[in-house]
Structure formats: C-alpha cells, structure tokens
C-alpha cells in the first residue's frame, strides 16, 4: 500500500491577529485559506507575540521545511508589527530598527534555502487601532497628563500608538519593495486597505483631506470618527469586516502575482 501523499504547505506566521484568523465565526484569513486550499495544501499556523519572541518558532518552520523529503512550502505569510509597535515601556515593544532586522532575517533566511527555492513570501502590515470617539479620558495618566493631552491631543498615548503602527506598516512595505526583484516577496498594505474602507463608510474616500493624519478613521482625535461596528472586537483585535478585507486582498494579491499558487493549478 502506498504512503499517503504529503500536501504542500502554506505557513502563517504572526501574533494573535493570526491566531484568531482561524476562527470560522469571524471568517479569518487562516480559515479562508483552509477552505480555499482544502485537499490541495495544508495551512499551518506559527504564532507568538512579537517579531523577537517568534524567532524560535521561525527556526522550527525552517527546520521542518528543509528536512529530507519535506513537502514544499508554497507560501509564507508574515503578519507582524501590531505588538512590536506598542509604545515603551510595554514589554511588547520592539524598536523599529530591531523590527526591521528581524523581518529581513526572516525573509533572507527563506530566500537562501535550497529546499525553499520556490517559496513565496507575503508581508502584511499591522492594522490601525480603533480609538472610540470622543477620546476617553480614563487613560490613567493623572491630572497633569490629562491637562497636557487636552492642550495637545497628538501627544495622547492612544494617538501615538495609532501612528506608531502606521510607521511599522510603512517599514514593512519598504522591506517588501526592497526584495521585489526576487519576484518571491510581496507586501500587502492592510493598514491602508482598512483606512480606505473606513473612509468609504464615512463617505470621505476621495475627499481632499481624506488622508489627513488628524482625521484618519479610529485615530481618536476630535476631527476623526471611529470605525463602525464589525471591524474590531475591541480597540486592537479584528472583527469579521476587517478579516473579510484581509482575506479578499490577500487572495487577490497572491493569485495575481503568482498564478501558479491558484489551488486549481496545484
């Protein structure tokens, strides 16, 4: 009797936003990939907290993928930055230069493996957070801090965190562009996809000031509006509407850039 055929693999590599992406109730992109590639590829998840904490997990991915007779790894999806971009002194914070080093290490390690010569990589930017409007006062910084916040709302920790996530997303897209010539790496600007969706919901997409940093959806400033219900389950984690956008944009990117990854052709 012949041995069971080993299916090629798709690996998702990230934090809790990736872990929760396998929930059928929210239709996360992990669950969508499982349905799309059922019987054609196995979808695996490796998750932790930050790009630094994930290094042991990444090593396991490489060891498994490069074992003798290992099935091919078709696609590695890296979805990091949401925790790395948290502001110090939070333990999750990874400075942006270290974050860049970590991501480049992940990408370059895959690119030099003979056993992963056909593996494609997608880098996904972290989403924005969603600060309710008006900005809550209970931010735990005391009267002096609250007074300062009222004088300069852009110094509020929530807004600074919001913009930090944008900076880390910009860095991810910069890294993706750097490796474009390999034709094996692509970036998905999920930050902008969600911002565009929020602007469209507010009938502001296309306005002259649509991307004014003081009016971006969910930024918490008095000139902005939060995302509507369904995009987030709390300020940080994604709901069904956001995962729908991510799943759709991810599949569109992958199948357009690498038609050979269409499940009908595997």
**What pLDDT score was predicted for residue 153?**
82
Q: Which residues contact 241 (CB under 8 A, 6 or more apart)?
A: 197, 228, 230, 231
Task: Output b/e per residue, 21-49; b: 16+ Cβ within 10 A.
Answer: bbeeebbbbbbbbbebbeebbbbebbbbb
180: left (phi over 0), alpha (psi -120 to 50) or beta: alpha
Instruction: Kindly give the pairing relationship between strand 120-124 and strand 42-47.
Output: unpaired
Neighbour-count burial of 241, counting CB atoms closer than 10 A to its CB (0-12 exposed, 13-18 middle, 19+ buried): buried
**pTM of model > 0.95:** no
In order along its 266 residues, the chain shows pLDDT tens digits of: 444 569 999 999 999 999 999 988 888 999 999 999 999 999 999 888 899 999 999 999 999 999 999 999 999 999 999 999 999 988 889 999 999 999 999 999 999 999 999 999 999 999 999 998 764 554 444 455 555 555 678 889 999 999 999 999 999 999 999 999 999 999 999 999 999 999 999 999 999 999 999 999 999 998 899 999 999 999 999 999 999 999 999 999 999 999 999 999 99
Instruction: Kindly give the pairing relationship between strand 9-14 and strand 185-188.
Output: unpaired
d(C-alpha 153, C-alpha 159), whole Å = 8
Q: Where in the chain are the domains?
A: 9-130+165-208+234-265
CATH 3.40.50.300 fits 9-130+165-208+234-265, yes or no: no
**What pLDDT score was predicted for residue 137?**
52
Q: Which residues are catalytic?
A: 16
**What pLDDT score was predicted for residue 134?**
63
Neighbour-count burial of 6, counting CB atoms closer than 10 A to its CB (0-12 exposed, 13-18 middle, 19+ buried): exposed
**What pLDDT score was predicted for residue 47?**
85
């Amino acid at each position: 009797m012949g041995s069971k055929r080993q299916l090629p693999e798709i690996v998702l590599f990230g934090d809790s936003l990736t872990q929760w992406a396998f929930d059928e109730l929210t239709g996360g992109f992990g669950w969508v990939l499982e349905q799309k590639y059922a019987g054609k590829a196995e979808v695996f998840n490796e998750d932790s907290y930050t790009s630094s904490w994930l290094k042991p997990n990444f090593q396991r991915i490489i060891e498994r993928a490069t074992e003798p007779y290992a099935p091919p790894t078709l696609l590695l999806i890296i979805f990091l930055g949401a925790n790395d971009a948290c502001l110090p002194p939070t333990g999750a914070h990874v400075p942006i230069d270290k974050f860049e080093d970590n991501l480049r290490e992940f990408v370059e390690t895959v690119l030099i493996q003979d056993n992963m010569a056909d593996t494609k990589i997608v880098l996904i930017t972290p989403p924005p957070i969603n600060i309710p409007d008006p900005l809550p006062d209970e931010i735990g910084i005391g009267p002096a801090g609250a007074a300062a916040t009222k004088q300069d709302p852009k110094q509020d920790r929530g807004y600074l965190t919001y913009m930090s996530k944008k900076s880390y997303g910009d860095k991810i897209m910069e890294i993706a562009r750097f490796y474009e010539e390999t034709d094996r790496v692509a970036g998905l600007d999920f930050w902008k996809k969600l911002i565009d969706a929020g602007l469209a919901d507010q009938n502001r997409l296309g306005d002259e000031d649509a991307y004014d940093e003081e009016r971006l959806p969910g930024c918490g400033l008095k000139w902005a509006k939060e995302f509507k219900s369904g995009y987030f389950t709390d300020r940080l984690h994604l709901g069904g509407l956001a995962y729908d956008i991510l799943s759709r944009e991810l599949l569109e990117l992958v199948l357009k850039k690498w038609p050979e990854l269409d499940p009908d052709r595997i």
